[in-house]
Structure 1
């Protein structure tokens, strides 16, 4: 059984889900700022896409048995012709199929972006190369150009994805995940603020039979 989880914050007001002091695998290496310092306006939105393969016990979106099905549905819901990637080898344009492959098996410290116009390559490279405390202006440049910016995030057994945008993402993601009807997959949506501890983030490990009211199963 695959458990797909989407954590949302709309608008962005707070710090990352995992505190800097935590040794959890989801934390990015290097210094991090609270997101209220990263994005000081209610015009920005973020999401975090995670997963657990209960059959294997592996944790991470890329560990899902049905990761390709989920990635394909999400990629097709976003602007498809303007995807750009920054990975260890530099900036390049990607086809939708290549984006799906990247979501399933990220290349290095991959950062993906798409929008109504091609993302600014310099801003994308800056965001990808440095700690977030040093790349705030570049990230705002991308978001203010209405780009969707997707960061690979370390998970225990692979990778998760965080998403940033200047427009709400939750409704689109809920529609996409809710339309998936795979018999060995369950999809959940919940707010960041309710997942600020390890036990709440990994609720599927112990709480699937009695969900709290803030978790919505699609």
Structure 2
């Protein structure tokens, strides 16, 4: 049995758009992290990214190597030439590196490159003004967050995504996968964030019904 959770804060504090957080647990093995379900994670994230503009990935794992095979801060287009997401999206979402981010939407290196570099180096908490400017320009930002057995993903979007997430998860939910869309303020304690390990009925009101 798998549990996928999307926590949301719409809008987020400090003018940082609308915040979401994707996490997951494999209850059979007790492995935790959205990346333990790579196919589900890729399908969900690909459904949330803007359909126009560019989808770009940067990483710097601290050892001089990077996702695209170039040293330092790397760039990789995640869209194939036919407009479909390539396998590199799944690789980007599951690759564990020290620093990484995905930027999607009307990205222009001349206007946004410096802000992206600041975010990659310092993170959204210490580079909030740069993040806010990117979001105001219509860009969606995604950041990996370390989890017990992989990584979760935080999202900051110009638009609220919880409704879209609910619709996407309804298509994936079933006998072997439970999905929940939960307001952040409901799950601030650790036992609530990991409610599936303690009491799966705790957030039954926020469980996503599977499409029949």
Shorter-chain TM-score above 0.5? yes
What is the match of residue 131 of structure 2? 139
Deviation at 1:59, TM superposition (A): 0.9
What is the match of residue 124 of structure 1? 116
Q: Does 1:79 align with 2:69?
A: no
* Pick aligned residue for 2:91 from 88, 101, 110: 101
Q: Give, in whole Å, the separation in 1 of the partners of 2:49 and 2:167.
A: 12
Unmatched segments (≥5 aa) in structure 1: 14-38
Q: Do the aligned partners of 1:79 and 1:116 also contact (CA within 8 Å) in 2?
A: no
Q: Does 1:160 align with 2:152?
A: yes
Deviation at 1:77, TM superposition (A): 4.0
Give the structure with the larger helix fraction: 2
TM-score between both structures, scaled by the size of structure 1 = 0.78
Q: Give, in whole Å, the separation in 2 of the partners of 1:74 and 1:133.
A: 22
**Runs of 4+ residues over 4 Å off in structure 1:** none
TM-score between both structures, scaled by the size of structure 2 = 0.80
Q: Do the aligned partners of 1:5 and 1:188 also contact (CA within 8 Å) in 2?
A: yes
What is the match of residue 40 of structure 2? 69
Q: Give, in whole Å, the separation in 2 of the partners of 1:4 and 1:84.
A: 25
Q: Give, in whole Å, the separation in 2 of the partners of 1:168 and 1:130.
A: 25
Q: Give, in whole Å, the separation in 2 of the partners of 1:114 and 1:149.
A: 7
Q: What is the Cα-based RMSD across aligned positions, in Å?
A: 2.1
Q: Do the aligned partners of 1:112 and 1:151 also contact (CA within 8 Å) in 2?
A: yes
